[in-house]
């Protein structure tokens, strides 16, 4: 599995990881089996959040990684409603209990809320000093937000945002900013939110299908590879079925050509700069 340095830590992390939004809906046993298969295939970057299933996702992941914690680059997120200085500390402790671990590899502010960023950063730095988190970052931050948090404590290790073929707004400014500041860009929902994206009767779907056939791959694998053409980008697709886990892992087996990327850029327009969507 291809690995990339995550942020400024120089820690190698798989470019393709595992997301866990609504993973509890797949059933506990199936979700655990899928996560463990992902680890076996090298998808050792696992992302979760206290919000996901009100802690259920974290608890499932905790069971899945039991006995294998040292293999995993583990990320969770604090809700903005809990992101005061004290609230962040409490939330992190609860996430650690849910996950059955003594530390997170990266801890993120899920999105901006009413608490000042300075409060959250103070808590992040305290958790880092205590060894409960190894690094911290943000999620759903646009350019102005990134500049603000950087003025407080330097560039965040990670910015996790929505990014897929039909949602490329971050390519205007957010990806270049992250590249310039050594911040990892983690793409959630990398397959998009509409099955029509992969419909071969549409112009975009036909381009995906043609490129996939040329590489002996699937359209979904091509969609992942397109996002990974930026060297600081990581993707965290969710997969609750073994076939999907294997499909995601196999997206590491090929590279898109410059002509492939150009064809996809033409089929799925960049669009105008605007505020980031949030999930």
Instruction: Using DSSP, state whether 167 is helix, strand or coil.
Output: strand
191 closest CA partner among 19, 4, 2, 11: 19
Q: Is the dihedral of CA 115, 116, 120, 123 positive or negative?
A: negative
The answer as to whether 274 is a domain residue is: no
The answer to whether residue 243 is domain-embedded is yes
Is residue 276 domain-resident?
no
Domain-embedded: residue 188: yes
Mind listing the pLDDT tens digit for each residue in 182-225?
999 999 999 998 888 999 999 999 999 999 999 999 999 999 99
Evaluate whether residue 65 is within a structural domain.
yes
Q: Rounded CA gap, 98 and 67, in Å?
A: 15
Per-residue pLDDT tens over the stretch 126-161: 999 999 999 999 999 999 999 999 999 999 999 999
Distances (CA, A) of 221 to 27, 109, 187, 268, 270: 25, 29, 14, 16, 20
Per-residue pLDDT, 89: 98
The dihedral over CA atoms of 194, 196, 197, 200, expressed in degrees to the nearest 10, equals 160
Q: Which residues fall within 8 angstroms of residue 77, CB to CB, at 6 or more apart?
A: 48, 49, 50, 51, 107, 108, 109, 110, 139, 160
Can you give the CATH number for the domain in which 253 is found?
Answer: 3.20.20.100
CA distances from 197 to 192, 194, 202, 277 (A): 8, 6, 8, 18
Please give the average per-residue pLDDT across 88-110, as a whole number. Answer: 98
d(CA 109, CA 154): 15
What gap in Å lies between CA 28 and CA 207, rounded to an integer?
37
Domain total for the chain? 1
Cβ proximity of 134 and 102 under 8 Å: no
Q: State the angle between helix axes of 219-227 and 258-267 in degrees (0 to 180), rounded to the nearest 10.
A: 100
Q: Write out the residue range of the structural domain in which residue 126 sits.
A: 3-267
**Which among 52, 163, 188, 198 is annotated as catalytic?**
52
Residue 272 domain flag: no
52 carries an active-site annotation: yes
Q: Tell me what pLDDT residue 147 has.
A: 98
| Mean pLDDT of the 247-268 span | 97
| Helix, strand, or coil (residue 5) | strand
Q: Which helix or strand (DSSP H or E) is residue 249 part of?
A: helix 242-250
Chain centroid, CA 218 distance in Å? 21
pLDDT at residue 95 greater than cutoff 80: yes
Q: Is residue 248 part of a domain?
A: yes
């Amino acid at each position: 599995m291809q690995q990339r340095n995550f942020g400024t830590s120089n820690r190698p992390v798989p470019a393709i990881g595992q997301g866990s939004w609504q993973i509890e809906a797949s059933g506990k046993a199936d979700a655990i089996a899928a996560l463990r298969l992902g680890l076996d295939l090298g998808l050792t970057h696992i992302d979760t959040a206290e919000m996901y299933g009100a802690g259920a996702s974290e608890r499932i992941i905790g069971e899945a990684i039991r006995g294998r914690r040292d293999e995993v680059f583990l990320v969770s997120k604090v809700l903005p409603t809990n992101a005061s200085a004290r609230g962040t500390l409490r939330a992190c402790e609860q996430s650690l209990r849910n996950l059955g671990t003594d530390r997170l590899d990266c801890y993120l502010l899920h999105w901006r809320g009413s608490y000042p960023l300075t409060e959250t950063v103070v808590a992040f730095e305290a958790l880092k000093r205590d060894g409960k988190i190894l690094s911290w970052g943000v999620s759903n931050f646009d350019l102005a937000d990134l500049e603000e948090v950087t003025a407080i404590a330097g560039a965040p290790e990670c910015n996790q945002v929505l990014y897929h073929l039909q949602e490329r707004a971050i390519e205007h400014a957010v990806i270049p900013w992250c590249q310039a500041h050594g911040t990892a860009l983690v793409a959630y929902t990398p397959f998009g939110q509409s099955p029509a994206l992969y419909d071969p009767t549409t112009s975009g779907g036909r381009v995906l299908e043609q490129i996939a056939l040329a590489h002996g791959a699937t359209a979904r694998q091509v969609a992942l590879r397109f996002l990974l053409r930026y060297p600081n980008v990581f993707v965290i697709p969710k997969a609750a079925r073994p076939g999907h886990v294997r499909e995601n892992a196999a997206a590491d087996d090929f590279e898109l050509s410059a002509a492939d990327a150009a064809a996809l850029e033409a089929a799925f327009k960049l669009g105008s700069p605007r505020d980031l969507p949030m999930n």
